[in-house]
Amino acid sequence: MVNTAVTLCGVKMDNPLIPASGTFGFGYEFAELYDINCLGSFSFKGTTKDPRFGNPTPRIAECPAGMINAVGLQNPGVDKVLSEELPRLKACFHKPVMANVSGFSVEDYAFTVERLDAEDQIGWFEVNVSCPNMHGGGMSFGTSPKAAAEVTRAVRAVTKKPLLIKLSPNVTDIVSIAKACEEAGADGISMINTLLGMRIDLKTKKPVIANKMGGFSGPAIKPVALRMVYQVYEAVNIPIVGMGGLCTAEDVIEMMLAGATAVEIGAANLVDPFICRDIIEQLPAVMEKYGIKNLSDIIGGAH
């Protein structure tokens, strides 16, 4: 009998599978399809201080081995998340959930985390300093060690809950940024967010997406994600949640060997809404195939 359990920042999970923020709503949408309590956890829709309509449409473009999105963190704002979304979530999901938070200023991040902090069901905060689809916020905080550390310190001051900083791959040195976050008080690192990409329509000769550029995700980015997780694992002493192009049980094991304690599944949820459930069901057989008894034993096993 294999053991799929892992512990992320002191919180025990039945398995390492976490649907990524922005691909799983607030959970109850997927609970209409299957019992989402089979998940290790999930990261709910990126939440900001104020409501956001998001970017103009079109926001999505398909491309080989992936997709580009520029949704722009559409969400109802933290007050509505507290009053409407989380009560609906609590009715169908009975495990700790990951709260994904973004902002346009350091104060925005701290405000939103402080408002959410009292919610018992929130097990971790995932602070997004890496969204490529926002003007004047998001990724601008995640492209320098100093700025990422500033956000980390501000959020650390308003919560005692585990704090994961979600990093951008659109940098030349992700290791220095991860180390700066660790030194500023982060309990873990989430990585990677989407790569910056675009498509051009040959008929109109214009960018397909109204925002011109957007976040490129899907199987094509997996080698980049693996490389970055591997590098950061060697540089920090805090756990990593690895993501980027994962869509099979074998992908999960490969990412954990690179150094991830848990994994997030993103774009694949938009292709197949049952993908996380299916990976969890397939994981024990794949573990047995590769002689793995305890999944937690393989974290960083490729080093």
Q: Which residues are catalytic?
A: 131
Tokens of 167: 């990093």
Q: Do residues 211 and 55 lie in contact, with contact meaning Cβ atoms separated by under 8 Å?
A: yes
Q: Do residues 151 and 111 lie in contact, with contact meaning Cβ atoms separated by under 8 Å?
A: no
Give Cα 212 to chain centroid, integer Å.
23
Interatomic CA distance for residues 169 and 189, integer angstroms: 13
Interatomic CA distance for residues 127 and 165, integer angstroms: 5
What spatial distance separates the first Cα and last Cα of the chain, rounded to whole Å? 26
Tokens of 151: 């956000």
**Strand locations in 40-96, DSSP E?**
60-63, 66-69
**Considering just the CA atoms, what is the radius of gyration of the chain in Å?**
18
Q: Which residues contact 168 (CB under 8 A, 6 or more apart)?
A: 129, 130, 132, 139, 142, 143, 174, 192, 193
SS3 261: coil
Phi, psi of 195 (to 5 degrees): -85, 150
